Amino acid sequence: MTSISRRPLFGGNWKMHKVAAEAEAYCRELPGLVSDALGEVVIFPSPTLLPTTSAGLAGSPIAVGGQDLHPEPAGAHTGDVSATQLVDAGCSWVLCGHSERRRDHGETDAQVAAKAQAAVAAGLTPLICIGESEGERESGRALEVLERQLSGSLAERPEPFALAYEPVWAIGTGKTATPEIAQETHAFLREALADLIGEPAAASKRILYGGSVNPKNAASLFAKPDIDGFLVGGASLDPSQFSAIIRSCGS
């Protein structure tokens, strides 16, 4: 596939961590640590922390995203949040289909596709997450699973979007795909994307790696040609660790 320059993207997914005071302190520290970052940085806090985080990062180039959304624009959906509510809270991004949503809430590819389309309609960029379990990889079905998730999650053809490859077996386990395995998988995903949306569009899409990324392994992973940044979980909770990951990839 034709080589093309893609702006790196670094996402920090706080998951269900932090309260307002901690978010405020984080937002005071992070911008100065990544002021010369070579790419785009997005923080994904819990819903209750979105206004605090958006206010704390105002005036900085760091964007804010939601961790999930409901595909409907409004309605009787207690506990859910809509795309327009995320925009109102200062978001420009949203995660769709994170492995923990798929695991804990049984989200299907069709639901992920609907969420991604709702995000785009409201002006958000979806970061669509896919990934295989340890059993699926060990049984030799990893690429089959990823291709199915990819085509199903992009069924509505959202535009724009970015993609995150999350090997489920490497999330919060301390295990990390070797740079070679990660690159092989990312290259496969880019080729699969080309079959869905065409080669020029696929070549320009950012595909992030997300699986126990830390300051020690980030540079070797990022050096691979089809890895365009990271979706970071635990290490993103500490601004010094998160910034070290970003800075290890160049500045």
- The catalytic residue positions are 98, 166
Token couple for 159? 């535009």
Measured distance between the N- and C-terminal CA atoms of the chain, rounded to whole angstroms: 27
Return the amino acid letter for 176. Answer: T
Alpha helices in 198-238 (DSSP H): 199-204, 218-222
**CA torsion angle 151 174 57 114 (round to 10):** 20
Residue 248 CA to chain centroid, in angstroms?
Answer: 19
The Cα–Cα gap between 248 and 214 comes to: 10
In this structure, what are the phi and psi dihedrals at residue 185, rounded to the nearest 5 degrees?
-70, -45
Dihedral over alpha carbons 112, 117, 118, 119 (to 10 degrees):
90
Could you give the CA distance from residue 188 to residue 157 in angstroms, rounded to a whole number? Answer: 19
Q: Map residue 66 onto helix, strand or coil.
A: strand
Rounded Cα distance between 45 and 157, Å, is 26
